A and B are shown apart, each in its own frame.
Chain A
Amino acid sequence: GAGVSQSPSNKVTEKGKDVELRCDPISGHTALYWYRQSLGQGLEFLIYFQGNSAPDKSGLPSDRFSAERTGGSVSTLTIQRTQQEDSAVYLCASSLAETGYSNQPQHFGDGTRLSIL
């Protein structure tokens, strides 16, 4: 079956521009996560959506970062006024409903490699 799909796979942009990264989760998965991975580093949590609940934004590094999830499916991560330190691989993951038991495996896309010149 189809896995988590992310687009674009690569994005190169100039410092100061805005970028939008898209995540299409597995159908039926109500939980959606965004992470980022800087070169040679572990994954850093950014934001979490669960159904219609308010998202957990506790991992967003600055107010230049925002994310939406429309219709409980596709999500878009937006970075405004990009900086060079934003260069990283941005990963999206989805899972079945996480309602009290953290027992559901997360399924990851292959990420968007973002390079800020």
Chain B
Amino acid sequence: DAKTTQPNSMESNEEEPVHLPCNHSTISGTDYIHWYRQLPSQGPEYVIHGLTSNVNNRMASLAIAEDRKSSTLILHRATLRDAAVYYCILRDRNYGGSQGNLIFGKGTKLSVKP
């Protein structure tokens, strides 16, 4: 799987939007962009994923650059509960069956101030 680059940490104020960037300049045409987050003392939690088009779900939005070399996870109104480490992960959709494990980097630690 191709490598991703994320800032080590970001801060946000409660109830404001948060834009978490991810660079993936070596992304291949068959790589999906997945985002997970990990709250303190919990297992990772799936947030959203996409391939080419922007995606929205109840948790967040994913904006994918036209050249797919970067993407942004958007939390529309940060809450204290959104304080977590956010991971941007690429997964090849044609991995061939047995190599579906996620490769987690360091992620971005998001702090939310009241």
Question: Interface on A for B, CB 8 Å cutoff?
Answer: 4, 31, 33, 35, 42-43, 45, 48, 50, 53, 56, 59, 91, 93, 95, 98-103, 105-111
Q: Which of B101, B104, B107 has the most CB of A within 10 A?
A: B101
- Contact between A91 and B101 (Cβ–Cβ < 8 Å)? no
Contact B100–A31 (Cβ < 8 Å): yes
**B78-114 to A contact mask, C-beta < 8 Å, 1/0:** 0000000001000111111111111111110000000
In contact, A108 and B101 (Cβ under 8 angstroms): no
Q: List the interface of chain B (C-beta within 8 A of A).
A: 32, 34, 41-46, 49, 87, 91-107
Which listed residue (B42, B44, B87, B95) contacts A102, Cβ 8 A? B95
How many residue pairs at the A-B interface have CB separations less than 8 Å? Answer: 70
**Interface of B: prevailing SS:** loop
- Does A110 lie within 8 Å of B41, measured CB to CB? yes
Inter-chain contact A109/B43, CB cutoff 8 Å: yes
Residue of A nearest to B31 (CB): A102
Contact B34 A105 (CB under 8 A): yes
How far does the alpha carbon of A42 sit from the alpha carbon of B46 in the complex, in Å?
16
Decide: A102 and B92 in contact? CB cutoff 8 A: yes
B104 to A99, Cβ gap below 8 A?
no
Chain A residue contacts of B100, Cβ below 8 A: 31, 33, 48, 50, 95, 98, 102
